[in-house]
Chains A and B, each alone.
Chain A
Amino acid sequence: MGRWTWFSLFMLAALILAQCAPGAPASPTPPPQITIVHWQHHHEARKPVVDELIQEFQAKYPNVTIKFESIPYEQYFDKLLTALASKTGPDVFQIPMEMAEQLIQAGALAPVPESVMTTQQIEEAFIPAAVRRFKSGGKYYGLPTDVQTLILFINVDLLKECGGDPARPPATWEELKEQARRCTKRDAQGNIIQAGLDTRYRWAVYTQAMYSFIDGPVVDAASCKVNYAGPQGIAAWKLIAELMTGPEAVDSPKFLTGQRKFEQGKAVFYINHPVTRGRLEREAKGINWIVAPPPVPAGKKPVTPLHVWAYVVNKDTKNPEWAWRWVQLLTSKDAQIKWFRKAGDLPSLKVLVSDPSLATDEKFRVALESMSYSRPVEQVGQTEVDNIQSELWEKIVIQGADVETAVKEAAAKEEQVVRKILKCP
């Protein structure tokens, strides 16, 4: 045999012997590096809290990296839903409660594994209103975040200027209407130059109106009915017409169109979520403001709509356990205290909702207390329903349409959407 043949045989034998020989003691294999991609819609007050929680999680689990993307709200759903459909979605993201049924039915979400939190543990820990919409087939598909009610923000200096008393904020819609009208300023041509009530976030105004006027369900998912076309719903929308039309309108779409009037010190009252506190503290430091419970019809008990988002996990994630551990941290007691104090998000854990020590000032107290008289938003479907209700607002405010006719048309359209989403017979 030639030299090369002997050499090849020798190498082969060496390789075989090397495999058979006992190896040296193995060094401990490091845990695999995991990356969890986390998307949520951008909010100036929430992003720093997420950044802080990421540092905490990564310090506790050095093998896990959270890649966080804070996406502007107007692009959030475009980007999220197309990413999910093309299987390039994030591991963890947040959805609003009105999208829960759609995404659960579409099979886009992974249920909370029992190893992370059992169904019983979830129901014992969180307030029912915060988790109910995310339950399907006996399993939970999300843990709550961004719990919001609606409260009334008041610019103290502007209120005093128009003779109002900050110590006695308006408790009813009639009082709010009267005070807002008094505080609305106009120029010589009759154009509004200071709004009595900032209605840029119109969803807040008409949702508070509907949920405070209507005693029963505004949307009844069980029977697939939309109920705001009844007498109470029509009364709510007539209030909108009184606030927004005529010579005593408290705001106008022409005034600072699309802009945040309260944050610019151009509006006295503002109905918005408690999380607005975080933005005001960052971006409107010069404004002296307080909060109060939102207005309700005279003679009625306080009520405010409760709206919840949830952190959910992508069904296609490669790391479900880690994704849910990250969600568990995001919704833990310590995290919820941070959300509340630094961003203004209300807690959803029972132990915190009834904890008076959380309310370190009057603003926190009012926000926390609002949960005691809240009722969950029953809206089913997001963009389509928002379009219908927004169009109803515009018909009444811009077109001066007959309220009853416009409300009945809108309710009928919304009912069709509900029936389509819930696949009602």
Chain B
Amino acid sequence: MVSRNLAWALERGKALRIRRQVRMWIWAYGFLAPSLILFALIVLYPSVEAFRLSLYRWSLFGEKEFVGLANYQRMVRDPLFWQSLKVTCIWTIGVVPWVMVLGMLTALALNQPWLPGRGVFRTIYFVPVMTSVVASAFVWRWLFEPTFGVVNWILRQIGIVDPPGWLASTTWALPALMTAGIWKQVGYAMVLFLAGLQTIPRELREAAEIDGANPWQIFWHVTLPLLNPTVVFVAVILVINAFRVFSIPYVMTSGGFTYLTPGGPLNSTRVFVLHIYDLAWKQFDFGYGAANAIVLLLMIMTVTLVQLRILQRPFEY
């Protein structure tokens, strides 16, 4: 009798636990559902459709023609694919480290309690982030105008008699764009590093000072390791943004007022997203454009995973 009651009690307890767990799952998924539905509708579904479109040849009108992996095979032979990949990689390698270094230095400076007007400086550095990217790209275009622009005027004043042709030059167009890209994002990195710096307990730095560490040693052995999660986050986000850059190259060197083709002088600023835009929306080769978009997605995912593997370091206080 006692053992039967015990068995019944155990069973009932288990049933209650299961019911409670199910109820918790229902609540959890109920709260997650709106975000999941939104994610499915605006991210997952378009991605699946883009992959499906990449298996077809379609120029917007007429029937879609199934071509399997022909669009991907075509990519390998397409010089513009390799050119846009090269330009995007140069952009990434050129912009991301500078943004991180300048952002970090600015954050370190603005984290000093003795610096007067820190709030003002933080605002000044963050203003480029808030400014419309299109408006600022137009301004940078004027600044880099080879004949009457401010940049070349300054270069002439310091004795450079034949300054670069900037947006009209196959060599200098991309560096000009990258300058605008760095300017636009330093404030963003600064804010994130600043937030990270402020989570590091002051006592750790003070302990290192007492032990005789100089500022560089404190930074390298204490601050930077503890800032690792922020560094990883900033690096990942900046690299993703670099692979997806579009507005600055489009406004500064493509189409529009210049009546030029996308990609700047001899495609020297043809970043990958601009390449996709040209294929899909200018040449109306949607299948091939979709294939390039899928490849971009895979590249970003791969690079992100590699970054996380290399950069993440465990730490403990």
Q: Is the CB of B60 within 8 A of A82?
A: yes
Q: Is the CB of A189 within 8 A of B162?
A: yes
Q: Is the CB of A399 within 8 A of B266?
A: yes
Instruction: Give A383 to B280 CA distance when docked, in angstroms.
Output: 11
Q: How far is the CB of A307 from chain B (nearest CB, A)?
A: 15
Q: Is the CB of A387 within 8 A of B261?
A: yes
Interface 9-residue window, one of A14-22, A205-213, A390-398? A390-398
Number of A-B contacts (CB under 8 A): 93
Task: Please classify how large the interface on chain B is, using the bins under 10, 10 to 19, 20 to 34, 35 or more.
Answer: 20 to 34
Q: Is the CB of A391 within 8 A of B261?
A: yes
Instruction: Give A255 to B146 CA distance when docked, in angstroms.
Output: 7
Q: Which residues of B contact A191 (CB under 8 A)?
A: 146-147, 162
Interface flags, A149-192, vs B, CB<8A=1, else 0: 00000000000000000000000000000000000000001111
Q: Which residues of B contact A81 (CB under 8 A)?
A: 60, 284
Q: Is the CB of B161 within 8 A of A254?
A: no
Closest to A193 in B: B147
Q: Which of B134-176 contact A (CB under 8 A)?
A: 141, 145-148, 156, 161-162, 165-170
B103 contacts the other chain (CB 8 A)? no
A148 contacts the other chain (CB 8 A)? no
Q: Is the CB of B260 within 8 A of A258?
A: yes
A107 contacts the other chain (CB 8 A)? yes
Closest to B144 in A: A257
Q: Which residues of A contact B59 (CB under 8 A)?
A: 106
Instruction: Knowing A252-B168, A391-B266, A395-B266, say if A257 contacts B146 (CB, 8 Å).
Output: yes
Task: Please classify how large the interface on chain A is, using the bins under 10, 10 to 19, 20 to 34, 35 or more.
Answer: 35 or more
Instruction: Give A74 to B282 CA distance when docked, in angstroms.
Output: 10
Q: Is the CB of A74 within 8 A of B256?
A: yes
Q: Is the CB of A257 within 8 A of B167?
A: yes
Q: Is the CB of B170 within 8 A of A254?
A: no
Q: Which residues of B contact A390 (CB under 8 A)?
A: 260-261
Q: Which residues of B contact A257 (CB under 8 A)?
A: 145-147, 165-168, 258
Q: Is the CB of A200 within 8 A of B281?
A: no
Q: How far is the CB of A86 from chain B (nearest CB, A)?
A: 9
Q: How far is the CB of A406 from chain B (nearest CB, A)?
A: 11
Instruction: Knowing A253-B265, A254-B169, say if A383 contacts B283 (CB, 8 Å).
Output: yes
Q: Is the CB of A74 within 8 A of B255?
A: yes
Q: How far is the CB of A194 from chain B (nearest CB, A)?
A: 10
Q: Is the CB of B266 within 8 A of A394?
A: yes
Closest to B168 in A: A253
B220 contacts the other chain (CB 8 A)? no
B259 contacts the other chain (CB 8 A)? yes
Closest to B285 in A: A384
Q: Which 3 interchain pairs have the tightest Cβ spacing?
A: A106-B61, A258-B258, A253-B168
B residues with a Cβ closer than 8 A to A are 59-62, 141, 145-148, 156, 161-162, 165-170, 255-261, 265-267, 278, 281-284
New A-B contacts (12) at CB < 8 Å, excluding given A82-B281, A254-B168, A256-B148: A78-B282, A84-B61, A106-B62, A254-B147, A254-B166, A255-B146, A257-B166, A257-B258, A258-B257, A387-B278, A390-B260, A390-B261
Q: Can you list 9 contacts pairing A with B, beta carbon distance less than 8 Å?
A: A82-B281, A189-B162, A200-B258, A201-B259, A254-B166, A256-B147, A383-B282, A391-B261, A398-B266
